[in-house]
Structure 1
Amino acid sequence: MTGRMVRPFAMVSGRTRAVLPLESQVRATDAGREAADALRFELGSVVRLCREPRSVAEVAALLNLPLAVARILVADGQDSGFLIVTRTSDPRSPAFLEEVLHALGTP
């Protein structure tokens, strides 16, 4: 999103709330892939980026967006049917912590 100076609140029409966990996985739907180039600049960028699964945090980082803006854009894409958001396990659950330990190779 380089080369454009758009205030974050303008990208999301002044909205400030979207409750999506940072680790939620986001991917474009078939409809999103087809419509990506016709979508408004910010949402189109999110959809194109999510042709491969990304977390909400990755979307914010890779597009150089404030996290709150990324959450709202992802929620908009989900509401429009252009993105699928999959929430991961509860990070406080013992099963999730065991998965993390296993992935790190810790006995």
Structure 2
Amino acid sequence: MSADGEARSHWFDDEAGPVVRPYAMTRGRTRHAAQHRLDLIAVVVAEPRADDADTDGSLSPEHVDIVALCREAPQSVAELAAELNLPIGVVRVLVGDLVDNDLVHVNRPVPPAELPDESVLRDVINGLRAL
């Protein structure tokens, strides 16, 4: 109860406004089937058909916000979480939903183990100079 004797809802914060719990945004899910592909530096890119996301009634406001940010420029999962002020786990689930709906796709960076060795690159440069 507040100082004036009225019961206060725990779903409302005077400074923040209405509070939506992260599990409500993801419908209780903590993982998505595509989650193994969604590390922090994975880049999310909007698909051409993502222009219809604003009028799609099946998407949550958070889904629409993610699509809008990715429409402006490709965003990493970490950037999306920071921009939307949401936990990484929530963003991963929401991006997974958008991938399933073909509204975005995810580009993964090349793992360091698959990058060419520096000595190979030097040999290529030296070979080109020798031509």
Q: TM class by shorter-chain length? A: 0.7 to 0.9
Aligned residue runs from structure 1 range 1-107, under 5 A: 4-17=18-31, 18-19=35-36, 20-38=38-56, 39-51=59-71, 52-90=73-111, 92-93=112-113, 95=115
How many Å separate the matches in 2 of 1:88 and 1:54?
13
TM-score, normalised by the number of residues in structure 2: 0.65
TM-score, normalised by the number of residues in structure 1: 0.79
How many Å separate the matches in 2 of 1:9 and 1:29?
26
Q: What's the offset of the Cα at 1:47?
A: 0.5
Residue 121 of structure 2 corresponds to: none
The gaps in structure 2 that reach 5 residues or longer are 1-15, 119-131
Sequence identity (%): 43
Q: What's the offset of the Cα at 1:53?
A: 0.2
Q: How many residues align?
A: 96
How many Å separate the matches in 1 of 2:28 and 2:116?
35
How many Å separate the matches in 2 of 1:78 and 1:24?
13
Q: Extract structure 1 runs of 4+ deviating beyond 4 A.
A: none
Is the Cα contact below 8 Å between 1:89 and 1:96 reproduced in 2? Answer: no
CA RMSD of aligned residues (A): 2.1
Q: Look at both structures and tell me which one has the larger radius of gyration over its CA atoms.
A: 2
Q: What's the offset of the Cα at 1:94?
A: 6.2
